[in-house]
Amino acid sequence: AQSVTQLDSQVPVFEEAPVELRCNYSSSVSVYLFWYVQYPNQGLQLLLKYLSGSTLVKGINGFEAEFNKSQTSFHLRKPSVHISDTAEYFCAVSVYTGANNLFFGTGTRLTVIP
């Protein structure tokens, strides 16, 4: 079975500072990895995804993530955050086999402080 762990439930950061949101996964088979963002009272928006190839994935809004197979991690980074980045961020994983169901971590609430 696969699982996703988001190590930080809340991350406060000052505006224009860098941020890293951590995600670790476990799976016995190869996986696809995703980061989603959810703004208050809204639905889910895909930030980026890793399928194969280059381990550094660039997404929307200046975010990027790096897949590290040896550490089973897929951390999300942004070099300089903006107030509008305040939201909840979810890491998710699906496996290559079976129904390819998507499994989510518990989320990290990013709060950007002016």
How many residues lie near other proteins (CB under 8 A)? Answer: 21
Contact call for residue 107 and other proteins (CB under 8 A): yes
Binding residue for other proteins (CB under 8 A) from 2, 24, 44, 66? 44
Q: What are phi and psi of 4, to 5 degrees?
A: -130, 135
Nearer to other proteins, 45 or 80 (CB): 45
Contacting other proteins within 64-103 (CB under 8 A) = 90, 92, 94, 99-103
Between 24 and 103, CB nearer to other proteins? 103
DSSP secondary structure string, 43-89? -EEEEEEE-SS-SEEE-GGG-EEEEETTTTEEEEEESS--GGG-EEE
- Listed residue (9, 57, 18) closest to 34, CA to CA: 57
Q: Is 104 in the site for other proteins (CB under 8 A)?
A: yes
